[in-house]
């Protein structure tokens, strides 16, 4: 996204300059149209330089790594880099969990912005705020605790709230359309 256009919460923005290429080690990918090679989780990509920078960064898509261009950590990498966790399986697992938590935080913080002011359903606003607070507590909590988080349950809960926002917006749009038509 071009600089200056991203209105996401600052800690939910990927920033490779504040990371240590954790995604290039922690994630797995299969050889496909998105990745020129296959790589298991926990093994450094052969294109990763000793400087923790991608050696083919300027030509990722042309070299068959469009999946790397599309990948979004939602700020999970910089958060983990700040925590100074030593490289290894523990950091890799924490990264994969944090990506999920940060993506859900992004989903809910952005969904909340789309709601009308004042929002029609105060209970929904409270539920979103509670879920964001819970996710923030997980993200800011001990790295070791991430392994005990039920990510599937958190995912279901956050996405259900986001769907309610979508339903709310659809209802509001339908009502506005009816008013314009004088119905």
Q: Which of 22, 65, 75, 108 binds ligand SF4 (CB under 6 A)?
A: 65
Nearer to ligand SF4, 98 or 161 (CB): 98
| Binders in 18-57 for ligand SF4, by CB under 6 A | 21, 24, 45, 47-48, 54, 56
> How many residues contact ligand SF4, by CB under 6 A?
9
Nearer to ligand SF4, 38 or 116 (CB): 38
Q: By CB under 6 A, tell whether 76 contacts ligand SF4.
A: no
Q: Determine whether 169 is exposed, middle or buried from the number of CB atoms within 10 Å of its CB (0-12, 13-18, 19+).
A: middle
Nearer to ligand SF4, 65 or 106 (CB): 65
Residue 56: CB minimum distance to ligand SF4, A: 6
First to last CA, the chain: 41
CA distance 92 to 81: 11
User: Token pair for residue 42?
Assistant: 């926990």
| Binders in 119-178 for ligand SF4, by CB under 6 A | none
3-state SS record for 112-142: HHHCCCCCCCHHHHHHHHHHHHHHHHHHHCC
Return the H-helix or E-strand segment holding 74. none
Residues near ligand SF4 (CB under 6 A) = 21, 24, 45, 47-48, 54, 56, 65, 68
């Amino acid at each position: 996204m071009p600089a200056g256009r991203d209105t996401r919460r600052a800690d939910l923005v990927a920033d490779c300059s504040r990371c240590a290429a954790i995604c290039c080690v922690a994630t797995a990918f299969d050889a496909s149209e998105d990745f020129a090679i296959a790589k298991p989780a926990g093994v450094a990509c052969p294109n990763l330089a000793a400087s923790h920078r991608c050696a083919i960064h300027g030509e990722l898509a042309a070299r068959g790594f469009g999946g790397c261009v599309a990948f979004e950590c939602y700020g999970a990498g910089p958060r983990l880099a700040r925590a100074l966790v030593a490289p290894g399986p523990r950091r890799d697992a924490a990264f994969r969990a944090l990506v999920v938590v940060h993506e859900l935080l992004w989903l809910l913080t952005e969904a909340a912005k789309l709601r009308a002011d004042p929002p029609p359903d105060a209970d929904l606003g409270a539920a979103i705020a509670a879920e964001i607070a819970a996710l923030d507590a997980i993200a800011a909590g001990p790295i070791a605790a991430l392994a005990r988080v039920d990510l599937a349950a958190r995912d279901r809960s956050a996405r259900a709230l986001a769907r309610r926002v979508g339903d709310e917006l659809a209802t509001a749009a339908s009502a506005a359309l009816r008013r314009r038509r004088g119905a």
